[in-house]
Structure 1
Amino acid sequence: MKRTIVILFFANFLLLDANAGIVLNNNFQQEQAPLIDTIIEDEKVEEVIIDEVVKTKAPPAKDKVQYFSQVTKYGFKNLFSKYSYNTSLSYSSQVNPSASAFIQDYMKVHGNYLTKMKGWGQPYFNLIESILSQYGLPRELKYIAVIESNLSTAATSRVGAGGPWQFMPYTARDYGLVVSGYYDERRDYFKSTHAASRYLLTLYKQFHDWLLVMAAYNGGPGRVYSAMKKSGSKNFWNLQYYLPEESRTYVKRFIATHYIMEGGGGITTVTNQNGNFDINGGASANPYGTKPQLTAEELESTATQAISGKYNSVVIAKNLAMDIVQFNRFNPEFDYMMTNNGNYDLRLPQDKMQLFMVNKYIILNECVQLLLGDSNISNNQTFYPEVKNKAVKKKKVK
């Protein structure tokens, strides 16, 4: 079935909550004249393409990526006045006013931490954006990983969800990840982000609204369908109170995180990301950039090499089959120093250093491609967490 999505924007538009009968203020629209934007969407074709992507467990062809990017951008129509965030306009003039109160409360509690994350999390955001773009998905979806795990590969929920995208084992396997007693690809940034992209496409195929997709990502599609049926609406703001509290709060946390990261003014203009945050570790700092506590034996078994260029810690770690936590233990402040100075004395175990020296130009090229948003990072390469309790041969230190 084909349908035409028609989005109308009018000056002085008043948003009406159909259930509560509340008329909300409108700074939500900016245009003085009506603006009509249309797109023809063939749902049958869309379903076939998405099912193909999920089945093949690979990014779609470029023409299909272009189609997805054109269709999925309309999914924020109930959040932003022109269905996407425009950085040249004030945030408050674009965001649905229903979100304002929650944003302010959330910013008071979490604003400082998220502002710091803007700095140390940039390599991870770049990586996630690069993969999302391969599926034609909006880059804003990267903030789901912030809500789920604070970007941590080690995150594990009380019910068993794991990795930066907090996949349950059965969902992870459905979308192509290996989860066993030996390997857990939920904790691999590359593979888990590809899997998350496929899962998000599947949810979008069902709801065609990113706010509903997020509610489904948190609480399952069944709860969203139930809320739609009970409320008689497909608009998150109208059906939110038919959702579990956790799911509706989850959606608002995403909105508030996006606001703090990209458009909050005030708190987002603090210069912590430029060097005022604690780069030596601690509860409020980068959990991947911990202060080195290397033993004498470990120091003796490492080698150092001065490097310069646009190197990225995640890409280096992946190519050397190292866990990112292990890499940053040897190289604290790596991304911060490379971004600000462009030079670093890289420290690695001797065998890893040999591998780096052989492949350093290939690694550098991959880092540059990631920075330019044209990454060819393989979806088939996986690095796993360091095996703990590994016997260490003690040496006498003079």
Structure 2
Amino acid sequence: MLTAIQARNAKPKEKAYKLTDNKGLFLHIATSGKKTWRYRYELPPGKESTFVIGEYPVLSLEAARAERVALREMVKAGVNPADARKQKRQETIRARKAERQIAENNFEAVAREWHQQQLNRWAPATAKAVLVCLERNALPFLGDKQVDQITPPMVLEALRAIENRGALGIARKTIQAINGVLRYAVQTGKATYNPAADMRGVLKAQKVQHRTMVLPEEMPGFLKALTAGDIHLTTKSAIWFTILTAARSGEVRYATWAEIDLEKRLWSIPAERMKMKSPHIVSLSKQTVALLERMKILHGDKGLIFPGVHYPNKPLSENTMLYALYRIGYHSKATMHGFRALFSTITNEAGFNPDAIERQLAHREKNAVRAAYHRSEYLPERIKMMQWWADHLQSLEYDTDMTTKWAPGKP
């Protein structure tokens, strides 16, 4: 019988050779020096085969003999060790595949895959908001569940938890996100049924609350408070720019100098940053241009127009402008979005074309037939309207004899 010392001291030769133990076990030494334990057997009787047990010294002599005993019993039972190993490998592959499929088909994995698929359709702020909504409100309840095993009561449990916090608006956003994920699961063959589609009417009714806006008669006081307010100049300028252009705050926060043509006095917002995913042109009044000239002096004419106060390489945070309104005494009295409604109210009362106003606000025509025949930008009229709007705002805060070099909030 072979000894442990012989196995350890075996050296490679010009040709491969073997050191025999007994009962079919031997140590094979390759010319490279690699040593492997092998078992020789006959199955069927008269047909000799060799089975590689393992590598030495990972597998010791004692362990190799124990493996040989098991293999001899297998051969006596008529089972070919090579076939048994192949079958075991196939079973392992199937088990790993099943585990991987389970991991890939749980709600969290599918949700993140769905979210990635939507990135080219959403603005960065929207993408972030949807992901945060899922992570905070859906994944704690559904994250580890297989998408093809989720039931309406499971979805309802997540929604009720949100409602119990009194966050009815978040509950609605959450069910929209869950529905999107599970619809995607059905579309990609990961599930055959979308339980979120059956949740209509299950949420508590939410009292509709219109966005707060400053009333027209309150604007003089508001503009004076804004100009005199102890607010960082970049933030104050961003608020003024939002009011002057009637744009959405998200469009302003991510605005770049590459989108601005000061000579033509136009701001061209690309489709990917617009809520309706259509490019939008905003006419810039003389006052707005003056504001931009000041921002150019402050931050240069590259990159973001209104960089973050603490992180210049990032845009102003979502709530910076809103908190600035709170700081000057307009908590629950004004929101940034409310100035779009104010613009619509005042320009409509002033007699401007309602279609031009809606186009300025980048609202989508709800009537499909009307929209098909109604694609005009109304740019000439909007140019006049935006200059009138800026002049109107200027007249509310300053004497009407101010020059056109006026910029909101004296530098």
Q: TM-score range by the shorter chain?
A: under 0.3
TM-score (normalizing by structure 2):
0.24
TM-score (normalizing by structure 1):
0.24
